[in-house]
Structure 1
Amino acid sequence: MPTADELIDARTTDELASVLAAAGGGPASAVRDCGAALAGLAFSLRVTAVKEAVLADLPDGYPAFAAVIRAALDQSRFTGWMTFPVDAAVAERALADRVFEPALDLLAELTPRHTAEMAVRPFLAADLPRALRPVLGWTGHPDPHVRRLASEGTRPRLPWAPRLAALVADPGPALPVLDALYRDPSEYVRRSVANHLNDISRDHPDTAVAVAARWLADPAPTTPSLVRHGLRTLVKAGRPDALALLGFDPEARVQATGPDVRTPEVHLGEPLVFGYEITNTGPRAVRVVVDYVVHHRKANGALTPKVFKLTTRELAPGGRWSGIRRHPLRMLSTRRYHPGVHRVHLQINGRPYGAADFVLRGPREQSA
């Protein structure tokens, strides 16, 4: 599998240059030549380099520029990652020429080849009400890629993209898009809606819970699953109204044993192993969502918590559930581990239970 930085390379630019040339874009020499300079660049810089080459090769005026891109769409080989910098070039050329709706229409045509979600965002940042009008129209498009573009492109906190400050401050203007899509027949679209709702929950938890409650009052069979995914951050945070909406009573009478750490000393690269047991001590059946929280030691010695999902169960009165968890502690590009005492505790329906320490050591081959 290629790394992220290898998704756009010299082979990509050679093929893109051939596509653009066949579409009437001239020799596309800037696109072809820029491939030699991509090695060693991060993905975002590769996108920028190819985008600038596309802008250099194609006509200056937006109508002639767009005509080449539409002609390229007649070629089935114009697909995948080569379209990513082209999307960015469409946005830049269109906004420079003060072209709005026709460019958004073109991005909707491009998105089935590879999502154009990043390129929609400059239009939303430039004029949110104007951009949202065609975006809302996409929710009725027959192609699920275009319907997903409406939800994904308007996410306030889309990963790897600049945040949409206006929608971070007030998600309300984009809610009609989500309302139109939460019962979509495509799981691909619904997953985007759930992720958009989760974005909202980070800044406006009350709004996210209210929207989820409204959807659950008029659901499709798939709505409960969508809402669970959309409120996952609030569930991990132990937000009582989100838990209650999903049927988890924060005041449920449960007893927890554990976490019973079986590996009090763990070497980096090995798993933390702990056992646990949960008992319903109340008179009624209860639904429990069980998470566990690992408190990672930072370089300054402070502990910082990270919540991980464990299980969801329904327990009859007196019912018990027990298990063993093996939590990997291995090097990740997104997390650095520091040796020393760490901690783990259970979280049941948002409430903490128990706590146990364990010591993290360096990799075993370096600890002799």
Structure 2
Amino acid sequence: MELMKNGLAEPAVQRIAQGIAAVYPQFDREQFVDLALDGLETLELKQRVMHLIAVLQQTLPEDFTETAKILVALPEHWDRGDPDDSLRGFAIWPVTDFVAVAGIAYPQQAFKALAALSPLFSAEFAIRPFIEKYPEQSWEQLLAWTTSDDEHLRRLASEGCRPRLPWGAQLKELIADPAPILPILEVLKNDSSLYVRRSVANNLNDIAKDHPELVLDLCQVWQKGANADLQWLIKHATRSLVKQGHPKSFPLLGYTADPQLKLEEFAVLDQQVTMGDSLTFALALRAEEMQQKFVLDYAVHFMKANGKTASKVFKLKNLSLNKGEMFAIEKSHSFKAISTRKYYPGEHFVALHVNGQEIDRLAFTLKE
């Protein structure tokens, strides 16, 4: 797989220079390219973005009201790159984020520039400083974008205000109180575009990390009369809560609130497991009522260096059993060396979870 930083190499620099020169004849294209390429290859991805922003500041008009006009006109002249290049969209990233640096004192002009550039590369990073510095103006603009004909702007309305956006600065006020986000998500929850609905789900998943009950209550309201698209959104929005075993998340996804099951068998086949080998356990569950729909997972409680244990949940199966029906399985869990986990000898546990709740656990010993 090609390194992402290669999306901001010389070809991207040349595309930026070509596009700006087509809009702004006074642009010193040669100076821009020389400055942009100076030391570029030694930098990582985010460093390249910041480096190119600094070069744009040196080579575009100091008056952002003039620069904003150039940026608004840029998409009509933009070379979108090789369709087979998965990184071709990165070229516009420094230009988009440049707006948040050079245009921070000019929110209205900046919003127009971001609206023009966002279809080329989503501006969720660039809008965040404006949300922090100009909350009232920013929320008004984000809400306006929710009704745009352009799906990129509708997505930006949601993606830009995600409290815990990956790669983006956290919006700490929204982590503490996500209430300003909710009117935007309300408008977009039934959007015709999966691109937009996925952002709404991811925004709710962010919010759920700090306010699980708020997200669950909202999804319960949305679930009434929800079509298949909205049901998918709810499932995607609550995925972290399901993984954490939050009890209220399972009925939202159509699972039995309190499944009536009898654990007929749960056994570890070998009480001692050598590192590099596998733990094997067997289980059998029988339904005691009709139409018991549930998620069956298992958790391994790993010994840590400090002598305490930490658990990790692993998926087993989503099941639907009628009264008297049984599900039985023999499962192996490998303890082969992996780069993401260090194993320590000592007492471990394997536990069964139904709808996120532990129903039983067994001890075993991991030895070197």
Q: Which moved more, 1:212-221 or 1:80-89?
A: 212-221
Using the alignment, how far apart are the partners of 1:246 and 1:146 within structure 2?
30
Using the alignment, how far apart are the partners of 1:350 and 1:313 within structure 2?
14
Using the alignment, how far apart are the partners of 1:344 and 1:40 within structure 2?
47
Structure 1 counterpart of 2:83 = none
Q: Are residues 1:62 and 2:67 paired?
A: no
- CA pair 138-317 structure 1, distance change in 2 beyond 3 A: same
- CA pair 291-8 structure 1, distance change in 2 beyond 3 A: farther
* Deviation digits for residues 134-185 of structure 1 (CA, Å, limit 9, x no counterpart): 1111111222222111111111111111111111111111101111111112
- Report 1:1-368 matches (<5 A): 1-24=1-24, 25-27=27-29, 29-78=31-80, 80-95=89-104, 98-249=105-256, 251-256=258-263, 257-258=265-266, 260=268, 264-267=273-276, 274=280, 276-323=282-329, 331=338, 335-341=340-346, 343-352=349-358, 353-355=360-362, 357=364, 359=366
Which amino acid in the other structure matches residue 288 of structure 1?
F
Which amino acid in the other structure matches residue 239 of structure 1?
H
Using the alignment, how far apart are the partners of 2:49 and 2:367 within structure 1?
40
The TM-score with structure 1 as length reference comes to 0.86
Using the alignment, how far apart are the partners of 1:259 and 1:233 within structure 2?
29
* Deviation digits for residues 297-316 of structure 1 (CA, Å, limit 9, x no counterpart): 44434332233333322111
SS for the counterpart of 2:319 is: strand
- What do you get for the CA RMSD once the two structures are aligned? 2.7
- Residues 11 and 35 in structure 1, CA contact (< 8 A), matched pair in contact too: no
SS for the counterpart of 2:300 is: strand
- CA pair 301-219 structure 1, distance change in 2 beyond 3 A: same
- CA pair 254-162 structure 1, distance change in 2 beyond 3 A: same
- Residues 289 and 348 in structure 1, CA contact (< 8 A), matched pair in contact too: yes
Q: Which moved more, 1:320-329 or 1:337-346?
A: 320-329
* Deviation digits for residues 33-77 of structure 1 (CA, Å, limit 9, x no counterpart): 333413343322221111111111111111221222233211241
- CA pair 273-112 structure 1, distance change in 2 beyond 3 A: farther
- Residues 117 and 153 in structure 1, CA contact (< 8 A), matched pair in contact too: yes
Is there any run of 5+ residues in structure 1 with no aligned partner, and where? 362-368
SS for the counterpart of 1:73 is: helix
Q: Which moved more, 1:137-146 or 1:199-208?
A: 137-146
SS for the counterpart of 1:77 is: coil
Is there any run of 5+ residues in structure 2 with no aligned partner, and where? 81-87
Using the alignment, how far apart are the partners of 1:322 and 1:232 within structure 2?
26
Which amino acid in the other structure matches residue 280 of structure 1?
R
Tell me the CA shift for residue 93 of structure 1. Answer: 1.2
Structure ID, larger Rg: 2
- CA pair 292-191 structure 1, distance change in 2 beyond 3 A: farther
Using the alignment, how far apart are the partners of 1:308 and 1:192 within structure 2?
26
Tell me the CA shift for residue 201 of structure 1. Answer: 0.9
SS for the counterpart of 1:198 is: helix
Using the alignment, how far apart are the partners of 2:367 and 2:30 within structure 1?
55
* Deviation digits for residues 227-267 of structure 1 (CA, Å, limit 9, x no counterpart): 11111222222222222333334532224444757893353
SS for the counterpart of 1:156 is: coil
- CA pair 65-330 structure 1, distance change in 2 beyond 3 A: farther
Using the alignment, how far apart are the partners of 1:289 and 1:201 within structure 2?
20
Which amino acid in the other structure matches residue 310 of structure 2?
T
- Residues 47 and 85 in structure 1, CA contact (< 8 A), matched pair in contact too: yes
- Residues 259 and 356 in structure 1, CA contact (< 8 A), matched pair in contact too: no
Paired residues, number = 354
Tell me the CA shift for residue 221 of structure 1. Answer: 2.4
Tell me the CA shift for residue 121 of structure 1. Answer: 0.7
The TM-score with structure 2 as length reference comes to 0.86
- CA pair 319-165 structure 1, distance change in 2 beyond 3 A: same
Tell me the CA shift for residue 278 of structure 1. Answer: 4.7
